[in-house]
Amino acid sequence: MSTIEQNLQQVTERISSTARQCGRDPQEITLLAVSKTKPVTVIEEAIRAGQTAFGENYVQEGIEKISYFQQKAVTTPLSWHFIGPLQSNKSRLVAEHFDWLHTLDRRQLAQRLNNQRPQALAPLNVLIQINISGEDSKSGILPAGLAELAAQVAELPRLRLRGLMAIPAPQADYQRQLAVFQKMAAIFGDLRRRHPGVDTLSLGMTDDMPAAIVAGSTLVRIGTAIFGARDYQAPTA
Ligand SMILES: *Cc1c(COP(=O)(O)O)cnc(C)c1O
């Protein structure tokens, strides 16, 4: 068994055991493998181990990988999630190549993506990013702006509003992680009542996954625990 296969198995087991401990069905939680900076050979190993959903942070790197797997015509359908900050001048590349965007944070970007999403593709699945730690430096909108942006996105036919995403400020302490994720879960509950199609709460990375699952995450974004530490100096495709 390859290291990546072993890592995927361990992460999957951790998701299942955490879910069961808090009375959730492990099937409700999608594992997104965050493959940023990792070469296609490593992604291929993950695909062989059964992984199908991948997250990328850099537009150019992401579309190179997507194109590679399209040309290879892998038989398993893959889904590609853009999870990095998105500049407006790169929106077309995301609209044309990705299946999901986790970092929607403004109306103008939503409108551009809606206009740019090719008719041949299903609507782009979008998550609105919430700045839950309230720091100036973090991207995402403040919770107070959510209702308005969500209503605007819901009107756009080439986007499909699926839910929310957040990257809280790192906290080593489990109880603090949980408290922030629970705030997100409450906001998610409100959004769901207004928009019944909403079903995805993207919360949790390698260092805070259990707290995210206990709070109600439906999608965890895991890089390091699957692929090992990242080397930002190395070539990325
Ligand atoms: C890199 C990244 C991850 C994965 O982080 P790990 O700590 O390696 O699991 C998850 N979400 C986002 C938005 C990221 O940029």
The pLDDT of residue 181: 98
Distances (CA, A) of 193 to 71, 197, 198: 41, 9, 9
Task: Give per-residue pLDDT as tens, 100-134.
Answer: 999 999 999 999 999 999 999 999 999 999 999 87
Task: Give per-residue pLDDT as tens, 24-44.
Answer: 999 999 999 999 999 999 999
Ligand 1 center to 62 CA (angstroms): 14
The residue-averaged pLDDT of 189-195 equals 98
How big is the CA angle at 202 (ends 197 and 204), to the nearest 5 degrees? 155
Task: Give per-residue pLDDT as tens, 64-86.
Answer: 999 999 998 777 899 999 999 99
What one-character DSSP code corresponds to residue 130? B
The residue-averaged pLDDT of 163-168 equals 97
The residue-averaged pLDDT of 137-147 equals 90
Ligand 1 center to 84 CA (angstroms): 9
Task: Kindly report the protein residue whose alpha carbon is nearest to atom 11 of ligand 1.
Answer: 221
Ligand 1 center to 36 CA (angstroms): 9
**67-86: b or e for each residue (b if 16 or more CB lie within 10 Å)?**
eebeeeeeeeebebbbbbeb
Taking all residues of the chain, what is their mean pLDDT, rounded to a whole number? 95
Domains, the chain, with CATH or none:
3-227 (3.20.20.10)
Ligand 1 in reach of 168 Cβ (< 6 A): no
Q: In 3D, which of 31, 42, 85, 34 has the Cα closest to residue 224?
A: 34
pTM above 0.85, yes or no: yes
Q: What is the dihedral of CA 35, 38, 43, 45, to 10 degrees?
A: -130
The residue-averaged pLDDT of 139-159 equals 97
Ligand 1 in reach of 38 Cβ (< 6 A): no
Ligand 1 atom nearest to CA at 57: 15
Residues 6+ apart with CB under 8 A from 69: 40, 43, 47, 78
Judge whether residue 137 has pLDDT over 80: no
Ligand 1 center to 65 CA (angstroms): 18
* DSSP 3-state of 235: coil
Ligand 1 in reach of 86 Cβ (< 6 A): no
Asked if residues 106 and 89 have their Cβ atoms less than 8 Å apart, the reply is no
